Structure 1
Amino acid sequence: MPDDLHAQPTADVAEAELASEGIARSDTSPFVPLRQPIFRAVWFASLASNFGGLVQAVGASWMMASISPSAEMVALVQASTTLPVMLFSLAAGAISDNYDRRRIMLTAQFFMLAVSVGLAACAWLGLITPWLLLSFTFLIGCGTALNNPAWQSSVGDMVPRRDVPAAVTLNSVAFNIARSVGPAIGGAIVAAAGAVAAFVINAFSYIGLITVLARWQPPKVERLLPRETLFIAMGAGVRYVAMSPNIRAVILRAFAFGFGAIVGLALLPLVARDLIRGGPLTYGILLGGFGAGAVAGAFMSARLRRVMSTEALVRSTFIAYAVGILLVAFSRTIWMTIPGLFVCGACWVLALSTFNATVQLSAPRWVVGRALAIYQMATFGGMAMGSWAWGRTALLFGTDRGLQLSAIALLIGASLGLLYRLPPLEELNLDPLSRWREPKVAVDIEPRSGPVIVTVEYIIKPEDVVAFLNVMAERRRIRRRDGARHWTLLRDLTDPTLWFERYDSPTWVEYVRQNQRVTQADAEIGERVRALHSGPNPPVVHRMIERQTASLTSAPAAAPSTSVPVATPLGDPSRAG
């Protein structure tokens, strides 16, 4: 293992060093992130771990097909792995944004190692039942739910922000390289030595990644404010996503894709057993065809993104996946089924890597773990629901009919792009604006003191009112997205040019946190507000803390007021509030 994992520079510093050495870089090359030592080490360790996980998945799916005749139970193996991601990802994302992501990933890896050892032991002793098998796969899914937000949000700590799309694609390549060969080898292992051997191999596959993470010493980030509590952090993540139209569109489309596309994996054991009349080796070969297509899709992604918009690319993947799955539905030979699965695999990685990169580039670092978690909840929630729905359909009407109906669902998902278009995959400057400074106050105040009420005064000419209302609608979205409550815009009845922006924060520390979340990309709105303000510059902000009245038996030395204003002239609109 390379020694430089102990002293890994930040990704942006490393990029500057490459530039100073005259090393050419290619924004379209998927291999650029491998120049970062930590990303390279984690990537190779993840490749081995993914290989073990896919061997285990083959063993679990085929064991369920062997011990239970129900198509619904076979499909539930996939659902039991994806359901925890839907249930627990938001909490895991909040944890990843507030605690050491490396420690979180180590905890998740050790947990999955312990569960895998337990699964292997129970299978060796002959104790496995259908529901016990589902319980073990559910627990492995819980480990995945804890690990994924921390791992995916750590990508931005390992590579420069501009290389995030390539890094996301490379992660898909690692998984799908394993998928292209792992299932076939897993099928051979299950056929030759049984599912127990597959479970043992998976347990050993965690060791390499645990070793790499244990040796990595990422730079410590100074935390100026206390950590948010779990539920407050979860609420902040939900609020940010709800107030971000770009991320909302991604989440809806990802749910639709996950619901329809999971059929290719959920019913694949039944395709191998019932449509092609094969065994575990056939199942592994089919999974390998899916994985090979995914690898091909990953290497095509950069070229396709140069010639197609994000929306056109994703819409095409929905349609092409539907065509591929229809070929699988009507095929009765392995040689016709594999091309259909190849197309499905390519579309799978193209769509999911595009969704993931769009979310990462649409969220600042303070909330990226939660944004990714909510995206994963939507995607895996769609997969869990789709696994059950298509398994139930196959049970009632046959495997081929379930595949055909899923193709219709994918075409409906493609049509959602007419209403919910994906934004261009472009990089926004989401670094903190860092212009705001905590104001000095004349009243003793604690971090937990509140509520804090803020008003900002604007002088707006009559001819600028329409433009002002439009820009303030965007300011309202940004304020509320970052944590402001009860935002209102008021107009003075005696002076129609005088306007007041008003909002509040539950505590002083939340008010400070909200202002520190303003990004460079948000500065444009502040500049537009400032340009429309025609009064004495800069605008004036009043910060007040709410106080309750009380009956006093004697007059205090200084009578408390119902509110304590702090009026501050602001040098620029980004500090207004």
Structure 2
Amino acid sequence: MWNPLRQPVFRALWLASAVSTIGTWMHDVGAAWLMTTLAPDSPFLVALMQAAASLPFFLLALPAGAIADVVDRRKLLLWTQTWMLVVATVLGLLTLANIINPWILLALTFALSIGSSINMPVWQAITPELVAPDDLPQAITLSGIVINLSRSIGPALAGIIIAAVGTGAVFLLNAASFIGVILVIYRWQRIPHRSALPAERFLGAMQAGIRYVRYAPPLQAVLIRTSAYIFFASALFALLPLLGRQELQLDALGYGIILGFWGIGGLSGAFILPKLRQRLSIDQLVALSSLLMGVMMLVLAYLRNVPLVCALMMLVGIASLSVMVSLSVAAQTAVPTWVRARALAVQLLVFQGSLTLGSLLWGTVAQNTSISIALDSASVGLMIAAILTARYRLRCAEKLDLRSSLHWDQPAIAFEPCPNDGPVLITLEYRIDPVNADEFTKAMKTLRTIRLRDGAIYWGLYQDLSDPGRFVETAVVESWAEHKRQFERVTHTDKIIEERVRAFHIGDEPPKLSQMIYANYTDGKGFQQPC
């Protein structure tokens, strides 16, 4: 499990992020506790804190992922970390000056989350750059250790500091925790990927990311399982501050201790998880952990004994870490490098969107009924969702080889179009034994998904009425540059599917390939000319 730490940059970032994540947990506890002080009789406002922290992810995750795939990720990380440092500093100073109210707290929580929502897809996307592919699950687990170790230490520290000097100091310490990450990223000599093709444009990159998700069933399974878990588990995330203060009658230190036991459970789970992965499939692990989380929420809805609550929070930590690490690994392994930040941004969007909607719903339920009824309802929903979504398999992503195969050959062309010229029409002519026509068309359905996923805006398969053994595959791509990018996007798994399709082709020659550029005739200057 410790192999990724042999990589110097990953090790430095891991240590710096550990300090920063402790600061983040201290901040979250301080902000939640401050809101219960500013609005003690409003469960809705307390739950709205979770919504304010989650909404920027829902709004900005996909644009952030697109930016992360087309710009220098190192520079983007420097910008986001600096933004969060400034916002946390402002919040700390306003709190110390005693000019804070619920709406200022919500606004600055929203602003801080803007930086985090842009930062997180980039942070997730650089992990595969820093470690070997075989070490990726271990690297993600190590990140889980950081989160849960921080959850163990940060809340307890926050409780002590709040009791001693107030919430403002917690916010300023969080601001200082960003400095170490900034220094490590600044010193990182990242070698950006170089391509002969022009960089994707922002809107085009977003469209490509959405198109990929639309035609990637393995990633869709991850998104469905993520949404089903987070929507219901968000009840515990949103209502735990009120559970601690109103139902358990705890002070800030006591609330921090409860969160600390949650973190200890997650830390324990990080060491248990590798053994569980050897005994259980990823689907079984996610389903069983989700059921355990649901049972624990059901018990917490009625349990009011603090020592027993602390013990149960350890089980909550184990269950939540197992689910989140498993879903993160499944998402990382379900997408290739060229679209990774965008795909992970979509998962983050689903995560935070479900967290936002869930927090608002369960906060409203608690406002109109009680905390126990809200947790009770969410726990039952989580257990039902875990059963209903089990048919969306995650293990298929483990079988994918998403390395670029680079097996497409560029046919001879009379002239090279400009990168933005287009659209481009690509045709492949197959000779098929008419007896095998039905099996061939079924095999082409899988190939259709690949073509649309990797850049085609239209795809079709046509059979010649006068020659039933002649089939023509057509695909339209919006520009010559986008078509050239397809050469780098095709994977080894795609190659296997293409070979399965071409096994139906008869004859000594391969299927006939044609590339045609749109003949743009404007202003009487003639048709398309070489670039």
TM superposition score normalised by structure 2: 0.96
Cα shift readout 1:65-100 (whole Å, capped 9, x = no counterpart): 001121111111122112111110101111111111
- Counterpart for residue 86 of structure 1: 58
Cα shift readout 1:279-334 (whole Å, capped 9, x = no counterpart): 11111011111111111122211111111111111111111001111221111121
- Counterpart for residue 131 of structure 1: 103
Structure 2 gaps of 5+ residues are: none
Deviates more, 1:432-441 or 1:162-171: 432-441
- Counterpart for residue 32 of structure 1: 3
1:225 aligns with 2:213: no
Which of residues 472, 476, 487 in structure 2 aligns to 1:500? 472
- SS where residue 393 of structure 2 aligns? coil
Q: CA deviation at 1:437?
A: 4.1
Q: CA deviation at 1:112?
A: 0.1
- Counterpart for residue 473 of structure 1: 445
- Counterpart for residue 507 of structure 2: 535
Deviates more, 1:104-113 or 1:255-264: 255-264
Per residue, is there more helix in 1 or in 2?
2
Alignment of 1:363-512 (within 5 A): 363-424=335-396, 426=398, 428-443=400-415, 445-512=417-484
- Counterpart for residue 12 of structure 1: none
Deviates more, 1:421-430 or 1:519-528: 421-430
Q: CA deviation at 1:256?
A: 1.4
Which letter does structure 1 place at the counterpart of 2:29? V
1:45 aligns with 2:11: no
- Counterpart for residue 55 of structure 1: 26
Cα shift readout 1:250-301 (whole Å, capped 9, x = no counterpart): 1011011111112222111111111111111111011111111111122211
Tell me if structure 1 keeps the 8 A contact 2:30–2:162: yes
Which letter does structure 1 place at the counterpart of 2:121? P
Deviates more, 1:542-551 or 1:321-330: 542-551
Which letter does structure 1 place at the counterpart of 2:151? R
Alignment of 1:176-215 (within 5 A): 176-215=148-187
Percentage of identical aligned residues: 38
With over 3 angstroms needed to count, the CA separation of the structure-2 counterparts of 1:418 and 1:444, relative to structure 1, is closer
Which of residues 149, 153, 158 in structure 1 aligns to 2:121? 149
- SS where residue 490 of structure 2 aligns? coil
Which letter does structure 1 place at the counterpart of 2:311? P
Q: CA deviation at 1:439?
A: 4.0
Cα shift readout 1:45-71 (whole Å, capped 9, x = no counterpart): 000000011111111111100011211
- SS where residue 366 of structure 1 aligns? helix
Q: CA deviation at 1:425?
A: 5.7
Q: CA deviation at 1:550?
A: 7.8
Tell me if structure 2 keeps the 8 A contact 1:85–1:141: yes
CA distance in 2, matches of 1:458, 1:123: 71
Which letter does structure 2 place at the counterpart of 1:114? V
- Counterpart for residue 175 of structure 1: 147
Tell me if structure 1 keeps the 8 A contact 2:334–2:397: no
Alignment of 1:304-343 (within 5 A): 304-343=276-315
- SS where residue 398 of structure 2 aligns? coil
- Counterpart for residue 282 of structure 1: 254
Cα shift readout 1:435-481 (whole Å, capped 9, x = no counterpart): 23444422462111111111110001123223311221111000000
With over 3 angstroms needed to count, the CA separation of the structure-2 counterparts of 1:297 and 1:444, relative to structure 1, is closer
Which letter does structure 2 place at the counterpart of 1:248? Q
- SS where residue 493 of structure 1 aligns? coil
CA distance in 2, matches of 1:276, 1:469: 63
Greater relative CO (CA pairs within 8 A, separation 6+): 2
Structure 1 gaps of 5+ residues are: 1-29, 565-577
Q: CA deviation at 1:390?
A: 1.2
With over 3 angstroms needed to count, the CA separation of the structure-2 counterparts of 1:137 and 1:170, relative to structure 1, is same
Tell me if structure 2 keeps the 8 A contact 1:322–1:407: yes
Tell me if structure 2 keeps the 8 A contact 1:485–1:503: yes
- SS where residue 465 of structure 2 aligns? coil
Tell me if structure 2 keeps the 8 A contact 1:325–1:341: no
1:257 aligns with 2:232: no
Which letter does structure 2 place at the counterpart of 1:347? A
CA distance in 2, matches of 1:143, 1:549: 46
With over 3 angstroms needed to count, the CA separation of the structure-2 counterparts of 1:190 and 1:551, relative to structure 1, is closer
Tell me if structure 2 keeps the 8 A contact 1:261–1:406: yes
With over 3 angstroms needed to count, the CA separation of the structure-2 counterparts of 1:194 and 1:444, relative to structure 1, is closer
CA distance in 2, matches of 1:317, 1:205: 32
- SS where residue 337 of structure 2 aligns? coil
TM superposition score normalised by structure 1: 0.89
Cα shift readout 1:90-129 (whole Å, capped 9, x = no counterpart): 0111111111111111111000000011101111111111
CA distance in 1, matches of 2:172, 2:523: 72
Q: CA deviation at 1:530?
A: 2.2
Which letter does structure 1 place at the counterpart of 2:23? G
Tell me if structure 1 keeps the 8 A contact 2:428–2:512: yes
Q: CA deviation at 1:551?
A: 10
- Counterpart for residue 113 of structure 1: 85
Q: CA deviation at 1:232?
A: 1.0
Alignment of 1:531-570 (within 5 A): 531-547=503-519
CA distance in 2, matches of 1:79, 1:286: 22
Q: CA deviation at 1:164?
A: 1.0
- Counterpart for residue 67 of structure 1: 38
CA distance in 2, matches of 1:423, 1:417: 14
Which of residues 265, 269, 274 in structure 1 aligns to 2:241? 269
CA distance in 1, matches of 2:154, 2:110: 21
CA distance in 1, matches of 2:418, 2:168: 59
CA distance in 2, matches of 1:354, 1:163: 14
Which letter does structure 1 place at the counterpart of 2:357? M
Q: CA deviation at 1:427?
A: 5.5
CA distance in 1, matches of 2:518, 2:250: 72
Cα shift readout 1:465-524 (whole Å, capped 9, x = no counterpart): 233112211110000000112200000111111100011111111111123210112110
- Counterpart for residue 567 of structure 1: none
Q: CA RMSD for the aligned pairs?
A: 1.8
- Counterpart for residue 568 of structure 1: none
Q: CA deviation at 1:421?
A: 2.6
CA distance in 1, matches of 2:490, 2:230: 33
CA distance in 2, matches of 1:303, 1:469: 44
